[in-house]
Amino acid sequence: MMRYGSWVAAGAALAVLVGSPFMARAADEKDAEKAKQEASGEKPKEAKPAEKTSEEKPAEKAKDAEVKVLAGPDGFVIQSGNPDFRLRIGGYAQADGRFYAQDKDSVATNTFLLRRARPILQGTVARYFDFYLDPDFGNGQTVLYDAYVNVRPSSKLQFRIGKFKPPVGLERLQSAASILFVERALPTALVPNRDVGAQVHGELGSGVVNYAIGVFDGAVDGALIDTDGNDGKDVAGRLFVQPFARRGSSVLKGFGLGFSATRGKQQGALPSFRSGGQVVFFNYLATATADGTRTRISPQGSFYLAPVGILGEWVRSRQNVRKGTEAAQVANEAWEVSASVVLTGEAATASGVRPRRSFDPAKRTWGALELAARVNQLSVDGTAFSRGLADATKSAREARAWAIGLNWYLSRNFKYVVSYEHTTFTGGAAGGDRRPENAILVRSQVSF
């Protein structure tokens, strides 16, 4: 009878469950099942974890749509929950001083200046589309240096169009915030600064091979342009190989070799060349113009191992030049070798030094110190003088220079640079050779 009464009680409980509200149904069914098991003498079963329902998906979507705002050494970033949309605000400013020792002819002026002031806006839209905007307010001028869009279906194949650095000079392709000295070496005078065009580029083998090829308006050596003055265009290409980049333990991991070149037909302006102290030492005559094919070639290489870095390149720029009925092909050449060692032991890289311990007097930490040295030379083709395209009493045929520098990285975002460069010239004066230049350059730089 007791067993029969228990079953009656369980049945009554189930009857009540049938008429209970929908929201309480799951809990009541669980209680009824438990009572049934107790009445039959069975051991109650452990409750199974609740399965996830589709109602959680909106929450997951909300998490993906969450906007992230970040600030740090790499700038200020606004980003969607996934990496499809991203905006980075960064930039750098360089306050310089230029001083010239033993300048008896007063060809240069000792001065302080704001060399560069560049806010940088870059980002990603819809995952595969990047943009980059880089105006400069230095030297009392406003110049747009970079403005381009980049379509990035993969790291192996990318498409860029706009205004940017053509793939030519090794040191030119480095950011001005990362170079070893206050000013770049003489070979940079023979490659374009910025140009407008379209480029295909990418990296293969996880960075072992970097390539780029494009078509550009055709900027003058050392210069930048916004519009073309003639129908001629330049084709530019570069291949840079780091054969040991994926071998983590190899001492040659930081070794790279490359070659770049440009070719096109151009008419119009011709370049002028400046020393390390940024004083003009060569000009073509005002009546001379570019008129025909221009080619540039540049073998280049670099090597970084722990605190040591070495960089070298050679550039040859050949241009057809005309003055009236006189025409000639002028080939100018330049080369450099630069080396550095981080005295505090941090790794030397093409993008600068990251100090292990930032400047903090309270903790007795002082950042990182780097010692740098270089030799460089630029030679003007003698044809420029023998054909009357340049004046030998005002323009030098050759500039040879050596430099030493000390860089103090107080943090990832701030550094001081001090450089001394001694330059000698062949020709360039009425009585023979132009006087040597002794330039002392200092820089305070903030970047983020």
What integer is the mean pLDDT of 114-138?
A: 98
Residues 13 and 95 in one domain: no
Structure tokens at 328: 């000639």
Are residue 356 and residue 413 in the same domain, yes or no? Answer: yes
53 belongs to a structural domain: no
Same domain as 27, residue 164: no
Residue 183 lies in a domain: yes
Is 46 part of a structural domain of the chain? no
69 and 23 within one domain: no
DSSP designation for 103: -
Number of domains, the chain = 2
Do 252 and 344 lie in one domain? The reply is: yes
In the predicted model, is pLDDT for residue 44 greater than 80? no
Domain CATH code at residue 161: 2.40.160.10
What are 317-327's pLDDT values in tens digits? 999 999 999 99
Amino acid sitting at position 341:
V
Dihedral sign for Cα 372, 299, 204, 153, please: positive
* Beta carbons of 368 and 349 less than 8 angstroms apart: no
Check whether 40 has a pLDDT greater than 80.
no
As a whole number of angstroms, the distance between CA 203 and CA 343 comes to 32
> In terms of domains, do 249 and 290 share one?
yes
The answer for residues whose C-beta is within 8 angstroms of residue 203's C-beta and 6 or more apart is 155, 156, 209, 210, 211
Averaged pLDDT, 356-372: 98
pLDDT class of 354 with cuts at 50, 70, 90: very high
Query: Is the distance from CB of 165 to CB of 172 less than 8 angstroms?
Result: yes
77 and 31 within one domain:
no
378 exposure class (CB count in 10 Å sphere: 0-12, 13-18, 19+): buried
Predicted confidence (pLDDT) per residue in 263-300, tens digit: 999 999 999 999 999 999 999 999 999 999 999 999 99
* Shared-domain flag, residues 287 and 369: yes
Domain range for residue 15?
Answer: 2-40
| Residues 29, 74 share a domain | no
Report if residue 319 sits inside a domain.
yes
* Residue 411 placed within a domain: yes
